[in-house]
Amino acid sequence: MSVPQSGVGAPEGGQDDPGRSPARTASPLRRRAWPLALALAGVFSATVVGAQVTGGKPLGPDPVDWTETDPGIPVTDPLTTSKCGTCHAPDAKGNLSRISWVRATPELWAQTIKRMVKLHGAPVQPEEARRIVQYLGAYHGLAPEEAKPVMYLVERRIQDETNIPNETMRHACAACHAFAQPLSSRRSKREWALLQNMHVALYSQADAQYSRPPQGAPPGPPGPDGKPLLPGQVALNWLAEKAPLHTPEWAAWKPRIRPARLEGRWLVSATLPGKGRYLGEMTISPGPDPDRFVTTASLRSLETGAQITRKGQGVMYGGYSWRGSADGGSASQPDDPKGADREVMWFSPDMKLAQGRWFWGAYHEFGFNVTLTRASADPTVAAVSPAALKAGAKGVTVRIYGDALPKTVTPRDVDLGAGVTVTKVVSASPGELVVTADVADKALPGQRDVAVKGSVLVKALPVYDKVDYLKVTPETGLARLGGLKYDKGYEQFEVTGYANGPDGKPRTDDDVAIGPVPVTWSLEEFHTVTYDDDTSYVGALSSSALFTPSTEGPNPKRRFSRNNYGEVWVVATARDAKDRFGKPLVGKAYLVVTVPTYRRWDQAEITR
């Protein structure tokens, strides 16, 4: 499981977040210690690079030419040149040393500027920093195809990273942070090597990770001398090959970079774990400059009918990458979606679709999973209810939500897929179409497309014969104690019923996700320590599967006055669905309840 670091975010000119609680602010000791660390980093890097340039033995059997050979990307922004060019020397082509050989997300450029301000005293004011990040995030950024696979990092999602190629790369690059962190940039081989040097200088464990193979992993490939390459050398070669400065994606995207044209109305389809689906629309209006916007969003819960209106603002980087914030009013509970949130979205280059996450919470644990579709005069199908249809069901009411739907509709105009017959149109309006349908007894399980005349929503309505198993997500959860001095870190669980697909086997790629299933939630002991009784101390699970952790600090009621940390199972027991033995279906997730994050080295911030 990869936990996105809190140290990734766009800057407020190197300033602390004004909305941060005192417990989450850097300590004076930390601020005093970092300049020394950076000075050591500069000495270390200069020493190593100098050895290569002056004829010393190259690093490792796969040598790096320390004289840069990759063509750089010239810096054309006058503000960036004036603020960065005093230390990063320009050349005759307009390249700035180091900067012109790196491409990165806005968050990584923001991290760099914040480091330069805090540790080197770079004379950059907050508004200047925003403008520099705006430029670098676009013209020294990633192409949309390069950024999309790592969006989960800036969306603050916790997920298993399946993109790590092997254990050596995990050991070298993902033991301390998400693998998406290095993949959020593209660099020349020399710059990747310099980044490794900086890690060795700043972080004591980095040298061991680069020079010692991971336990149990096979040795690295042989180098020119026949000896296995060390993890650092393997990582350097992999990154230089898979994440080089110049790529076909960047070559194709760079001439297409332009100010985004987002003004207008967008349809919103969203899900909020624990609270279900929401529909609505967002109006995007021009802001103070071409890449800044003002937003108003209205959402309606399909579960309860509750309405939310949010007002906010956002910045578009590189013509496709949105960072914003919005506020819907005072929040009554930690999971209340009315409170302030941050928005991260990826827009398709044709500006017709966007996907991302609107999140909040001390650990960004709450959030909408959002899809935006640009509204037009053509009919658009946005969502369907219920979540699934059971084979053999008759007279089922199906609601089709969308925009500009036709007012005059016949059953022939509505297609719910093979084996599903629309028998009657109950009502029709531009925003909602209500029909009744029959499902064949032998309807093939699987996803169906929903079509209303010319508009199609792909894989919108699953058909199933029975619920075969339950899956609780997240399968591995993390919550943090708090409430006295530190913020609590909550965890929201939800359960989805699944039907075995055509192969008849559970947990394979053809299984059919049915959607929410009525269950009863509970906690069970995860037996790691004898008689520790974690379920009595770690916290409580609500009927909607929101886990609220206990307070931090020693508990005199516990053996040895231990903290309230522990490990438990989160259990969902079906109320109706049963297995082949007639017992209720059960799904489980593993939950770790741990201590607060006492120190955040680089608080994440989103430029607004």
Model pLDDT, residue 283:
98
**CA gap 511, 388 in Å, rounded:** 13
Residue at 83: amino acid letter: K
The sign one gets for the Cα dihedral 192, 195, 200, 205 is: negative
Q: How many CB atoms lie within 10 A of CB 278?
A: 23
Reported confidence tier of residue 441, pLDDT bands at 50, 70, 90: very high
Evaluate if residue 35 carries a pLDDT over 60.
Answer: no
Per-residue pLDDT averaged across 208-221, rounded? 84
For residues 171-196, average pLDDT: 94
Residue 451 in tokens? 């079509």
Whether the Cβ atoms of residue 477 and residue 590 lie closer than 8 Å to each other: yes
pTM (two decimals): 0.86
CB within 8 Å of 152: residues ≥ 6 apart: 4, 159, 180
Please provide the CATH number assigned to the domain covering 380-464: 2.60.40.10
pLDDT of the residue at 514: 93
For residue 509, how many other CB atoms are within 10 A of its CB? 6
pLDDT on residue 607 = 36
Asked whether residue 25 carries a pLDDT value surpassing 90, the answer given is: no
Long-range interactions of 584-587: CB distance < 8 A, separation 24+: 585/467, 585/469, 585/470, 585/497, 585/517, 586/470, 587/469, 587/470, 587/471, 587/472, 587/495, 587/519
Range 252-274 average pLDDT: 95
398 SS3 class: strand
pLDDT at 373: 95
Residue type, 63: P
**Token couple for 19:** 């909305």
Q: How far apart are CA 402 and CA 155, in angstroms?
A: 26
pLDDT value of position 115? 86
> How far, rounded to the nearest angstrom, does the alpha carbon of residue 547 sit from its chain's CA centroid?
21
Q: In this structure, how many other beta carbons lie within 10 angstroms of the beta carbon of residue 512?
A: 22
Residues 6 or more apart in contact with residue 92 via CB below 8 angstroms: none
Q: What is the CATH number of domain 264-374?
A: 2.40.128.120
For residue 381, list its beta bridge partners: 402
Question: Residue 24 corresponds to which amino acid?
Answer: R
Q: How many CB atoms are closer than 10 A to CB 202?
A: 14
- The better pLDDT of the pair 339, 25 is held by 339
Please tell me the predicted confidence (pLDDT) of residue 59.
43
| Average pLDDT of the residues in 102-125 | 92
pLDDT at 48 over 80: no
Mean pLDDT of the chain: 87
Residue keyed to tokens 């990165």: 104
Q: Which SS3 state, helix, strand or coil, does residue 299 take?
A: strand
Q: How many residues does the chain have?
A: 608
Per the structure block, which two tokens stand in for 3?
Answer: 């936990």
* The pLDDT of residue 183 is above 60: yes
Residues 6+ apart with CB under 8 A from 114: 11, 14, 129, 602
- Token readout for 254 is 């760079």
- Between CA 347 and CA 371 the distance in angstroms is 10
Listing DSSP states for 62-111 in one string gives S---SS--S-------HHHHHHHTTTS-B-TTSPBTTGGGEEE-HHHHHH
Rg, C-alpha atoms of the chain: 27
Q: For tokens 């093979």, name the residue.
A: 418
pLDDT for 566 equals: 96
CA distance 207 to 56: 20
At 530-546, the pLDDT tens digits run 778 999 999 999 999 99
C-beta neighbour count of 575 within 10 angstroms: 10
> Any idea where the domains of the chain sit in the sequence?
59-254, 264-374, 380-464, 469-594
* Residue 36 scores a pLDDT above 50: no
Percent of the chain exceeding pLDDT 70 equals 88
> Which pLDDT belongs to residue 518?
95
Domain 264-374 and domain 469-594, same fold? Reply is no
Residue 17 pLDDT more than 70? no
Read off φ and ψ for residue 372, nearest 5 degrees: -110, 135
CA distance 460 to 475: 24
> Distance (Å, rounded) from C-alpha 199 to C-alpha 181?
13
User: What pLDDT, on the 0 to 100 scale, is given for residue 223?
Assistant: 80
The answer to whether 571 and 523 have CB atoms below 8 angstroms apart is yes
Averaged pLDDT, 575-593: 95
- How far apart CA 74 and CA 71 sit, in angstroms, is 9
Q: What is the pLDDT of residue 600?
A: 72
Long-range contacts of 122-129 (CB under 8 A, 24+ apart): 122/83, 122/84, 122/87, 123/83, 124/13, 124/14, 124/83, 125/13, 126/11, 126/12, 126/13, 126/14, 126/15, 127/13, 128/13, 128/79, 128/83, 129/11, 129/12, 129/13, 129/14
Q: Residue 231: what pLDDT?
A: 92
CATH of domain 469-594: 2.60.40.10
Give the mean model confidence (pLDDT) for residues 304-310. Answer: 94
Percentage helix, strand, coil for the chain under 3-state DSSP, each rounded to 5: 25, 35, 45
Contact in structure between 354 and 322 (CB atoms under 8 Å) = yes
User: Please, which residues bridge with residue 332 across strands?
Assistant: none
Q: How many Cα atoms within 13 Å fall on the side-chain side of residue 552?
A: 16
Q: How far is CA 369 from the centre of its chain?
A: 10
Determine phi and psi for 538, rounding to 5 degrees. -70, -30
Q: Which amino acid is at 395?
A: G
Cα separation, 21 vs 25, in Å, equals: 7
